[in-house]
Amino acid sequence: MSAGYFPKREKLGLEDLFKGLVTASHILHYHGVLDAYGHISVRSPDNHSTFYLSCNISPALLSSPDDLTEYNIEDATPVEKDAKPGYLERYLHSEIYKRFPTVNSVVHSHCSDVLPYCVSGVPLRATGHMAGFLGTTVPVWDISSHYPSGSKHDLLVRDITVAASLSATFKPATSAGFLYSKMRSALPSQIGGSSEPSHEPDHFVVLMQGHGFTTVAHGIEEAVYQAIYTKEAAKTQTAALTIHNAYFGGTFEGKVDVEGGGKIKQGKVKSEGELKYLSDREAADTWETNRRTAMRPWGLWCREVEVCPLYRNECPGGDDE
């Protein structure tokens, strides 16, 4: 595969970038993360204030640089005046790039395996070492309190104000975070102190109430890895919860209100056993290890879509090919 867009690579060219972005869209469709909807974007290597996103087309049908549009991060407007119609939710990408200078790729998905964790109140957790990037907490962002007056309540991130709220969820301004940053700034640099605010998100994945999820990364391959293994983590957790509840069952405990017709008051379900999730240390260490190997699955995934007749990638390769 052509070089150019993974953060540790020395060479970065637009031809490689376009080819990689089209390939990434195909991979995410092939693995069921995207269907006719959803999208992946990448920050421009030549201009840090712009990013590339496909025009309004299904991810599987992207095939050439003509299908890609360059947008201004400041307001999500196309750089070229005659650009093809784009996605309504391009603001989702622009506000994330605006808030996090270290983020270079964003994936937004409506994956049905993840959606139950967007509506059920059951937290999505890292059940295995391939999903360490989830950490021990995956926030759920609810758009319902962020709609501008007079706007459609269709769950779409269709303007800057709503998108800014979503982007802030990747690094919430909590009192604990504020105290932590103050403690870091008070320490000598030799032992980890720093007066510079971190531009890294606290979370790599945010779930969206009734909508899907968004993941942010330092490069395309990393973003694709996170999107695919977010889906796999959700599938694993759902299966684990299912067999756990089927095996252990549960009992309902409470007080019976005789005068109230036999209704149970202060009732709760008591179950045996508990699921084992990754600890903070395990999540951090597994992701530190796995992010260094992201090119291994990327090579396999590229080959899968190269040999599938559904996908066409007519982007020219870079000089390294």
CA geometry: angle at 165 spanning 164 and 166, to 5°?
Answer: 90
Region 293-316: mean pLDDT is: 95
At residue 113, does pLDDT exceed 80?
yes
Rounded to whole angstroms, how far apart are CA atoms 278 and 5?
30
Mean pLDDT computed over 101-127: 96
Q: Residue 183 has what pLDDT?
A: 44
The ranges assigned to domains in the chain are 14-169+203-254+265-306, 172-196
* Mean pLDDT on 8-23: 79
What pLDDT was estimated at residue 181?
Answer: 47
Average pLDDT of the residues in 93-114: 97
Task: Identify residue 89 by its one-letter amino acid code.
Answer: E
pLDDT at 201: 96
Model pTM score: 0.84
- The beta strand positions in the chain, using DSSP E, are 39-43, 50-54, 68-72, 105-109, 140-141, 205-208, 212-217, 251-257, 263-270
DSSP labels, 41-86? EEE-SS-TTEEEEE-SS-GGG--SGGGEEEEETTT--BSSTTPPP-
pLDDT of residue 246: 87
Looking at the chain, the number of H-run helices and the number of E-run strands are: 8, 9
- Looking at residue 149, what is its pLDDT? 87
More reliable by pLDDT, 262 or 4:
262
Per-residue pLDDT at 317: 74
**Closest by alpha carbon to 21, among 221, 229, 305?**
221
**What are the tens digits of pLDDT across the range 225-270?**
999 999 999 999 999 999 988 888 766 566 666 666 656 666 665 6
Fold of 14-169+203-254+265-306: L-fuculose-1-phosphate Aldolase (3.40.225)
Q: Which pLDDT belongs to residue 62?
A: 97
**Most confident stretch, 1-5, 140-144, 173-177:** 140-144
Q: Please tell me which residue in 89, 95, 221, 222 is annotated as part of the active site.
A: 89
Q: Which of 38-47, 77-86, 91-100, 244-253 has the lowest mean pLDDT?
A: 244-253
Give per-residue pLDDT as tens, 211-221: 999 999 999 99
Mean pLDDT of 28-48: 96
pLDDT at 173 over 90: no
Q: Is 297 helix (H, G, I), strand (E, B) or coil?
A: helix
- Told to judge if 89 belongs to the known catalytic residues of this protein, a careful annotator would answer yes
Q: Evaluate if residue 3 carries a pLDDT over 60.
A: no
